[in-house]
Amino acid sequence: MPIFMIGTQRSGSNLLRLMLNQLPEVAAPHPPHILQRLAPMLSGYGDLKEDAGFMRLVDDVCQLVELNPVPWEGVTLDRQDVAFRCSERSLAAVFGAVYDIMAETRGAQTWCCKSLANIQYLNEIEHYYRDGAKYIYLYRDGRDVAVSFRKAVVGEKHFYHIAKEWGATQQIALGMRERAGPKRFISVRYEDITAQPESTMQRLCKFLGYRYTPSMLNFHETDEARKAAKSSELWGNVVNPVMADNTRKFLREAGEADIRLFELVAGDVLDALGYDRVVTRKGEKGEFSADDVRHFDAENKRLKEEVMSKVDPEDIKRRDRQLGLIQQIQQRQQPSDSMWVYV
């Protein structure tokens, strides 16, 4: 049964996937983000019942994997084999086929995809796997998520935008919890991983049906962790043991105004997940005018530009080797001027 990690970035997903990768039964590679990157362009492949469009999709998915910033070493993707493994002609089927090949190559019984953006494609996943997938909902205090996004090259930067995205994503996850039920869905708090890593991993292993191994806590000593850390500054912490004090950072690194804003935008979700508010009252919500939002938008843009101005260009190149392929696909799918006839 395949395993999907869902939630919001900057919540410890690299840490958790490296821990899971220590289980002999589970292959948890760095994800090429297949659904996130290719689903928005799927209509450009035409009718997937036609061989040409489907095989082009297969080739693009395989290239995306082959350009992954943390390589799937030893994995060979024969395009005809990938297509043969698909029980239907869909992106989800091609996605599943390449992950199956990866797991077989590594001698694992199943695989875990840690691309948290898969939460936006739950309908496609559920349709293809026919209620045969398991979900790990990884979540973290949204105010700490916001602090982390402020410093990261990826994502929104203003607390208003981060709070809106974080809150909406957690709501989707909580809805999926009801839909999938306890046999296929487990919630894991980042704060529990850092405070009680062994007992938290034991609980997770019991849910997955595999025996816990203490080597899960030695993830930072693995070649996979070293490769991830070298690929981007975003993942530099994975070569360190679990950081027990990596929580409630927003109290030290965020101002009261930002904390208040986050709690007014997404406080209901903080409440639902059991996180105490520190500035506003439980149940308190904020209302923002169009002028407020325009100001937030402008500040968000400024903060993004500020972060990008400090980023090592080589780090971006290493982390996003797939960008060139995505641009090629977009250009290929744009209609040519020669297709138009003017009368």
Q: Determine whether 234 is exposed, middle or buried from the number of CB atoms within 10 Å of its CB (0-12, 13-18, 19+).
A: buried
Full-model pTM = 0.93
CB 261 within 8 A of CB 295: no
- The verdict on residue 341 lying in a domain is no
Neighbours of 80 (CB within 10 A): 9
Within-domain flag for 343: no
Q: Please report the pLDDT score of residue 341 as a whole number.
A: 38
Choose the weakest-confidence range: 172-176, 182-186, 322-326. Answer: 322-326
What pLDDT score was predicted for residue 336?
55
> Which amino acid does the sequence have at 181?
G
pLDDT at 95: 98
Contact 147, 249 (CB under 8 A): yes
What is residue 319's predicted lDDT score, i.e. its pLDDT? 58
User: Coil, helix or strand for 313?
Assistant: helix
How many domains does the structure of the chain reveal? 1
DSSP string, 238-302: GGS---TT-SSTHHHHS-HHHHHHHHHHHHHHHHHTTPPPSSS-TT------HHHHHHHHHHHHH
As a residue count, the chain comes to 343
| Contact (CB, 8 A) for 4 and 125 | yes
What 3-state DSSP class applies to 215? helix
219: helix, coil or strand? helix
- Check if the beta carbon of residue 62 is closer than 8 Å to that of residue 82: yes
Distances (CA, A) of 10 to 183, 190, 258, 276: 26, 10, 18, 20
Helix (H, G, I), strand (E, B) or coil at 323: helix
Yes or no: say if 204 and 187 are a contact pair by the CB < 8 Å rule.
no
- Which CATH number goes with the domain that contains 126? 3.40.50.300
The separation between the first and the last C-alpha atoms of the chain, rounded to the nearest angstrom, is 57
Number of other CB atoms surrounding residue 289 within 10 Å: 8
Q: Is residue 111 part of a domain?
A: yes
Calculate Rg over the CA atoms of the chain.
21
Share of the chain above pLDDT 90, in %: 84
pLDDT at 334: 86
Helix (H, G, I), strand (E, B) or coil at 52: helix
Report whether 103 contacts 3 (CB < 8 A): no
The answer to whether residue 291 sits within a structural domain is yes
Q: Stretch 44-61: mean pLDDT, rounded? A: 97
Q: Which residues of 122-137 are buried (b: 16+ CB within 10 A; e: fewer)?
A: bebbbebbeeebbbbb
pLDDT digits (tens, 9 = 90+) for 116-152: 999 999 999 999 999 899 999 999 999 999 999 999 8
Are the C-beta atoms of 69 and 58 separated by less than 8 Å? no
**Residue 339 covered by a domain:** no
- Domain-located, residue 340: no
Residue 284: other Cβ atoms inside 10 A: 14
Identify the pLDDT of residue 167: 98
Statement: residue 97 has pLDDT above 60 = yes
For residues 226-235, give the mean pLDDT.
Answer: 78
Q: Assess whether pLDDT exceeds 90 at residue 285.
A: yes
pLDDT value, residue 315: 66
- The single-letter DSSP state of residue 100 is H
Is residue 342 in some structural domain?
no
Mean pLDDT score of the chain: 93
The residue-averaged pLDDT of 194-223 equals 97
Q: What percent of the chain has pLDDT over 70?
A: 95
In terms of residue numbers, what domain contains 24?
A: 3-334
The average pLDDT across 270-289 equals 97
With a cut of 50, say whether residue 61 has pLDDT above it.
yes
Residue among 279, 223, 271 nearest 251 (CA): 279
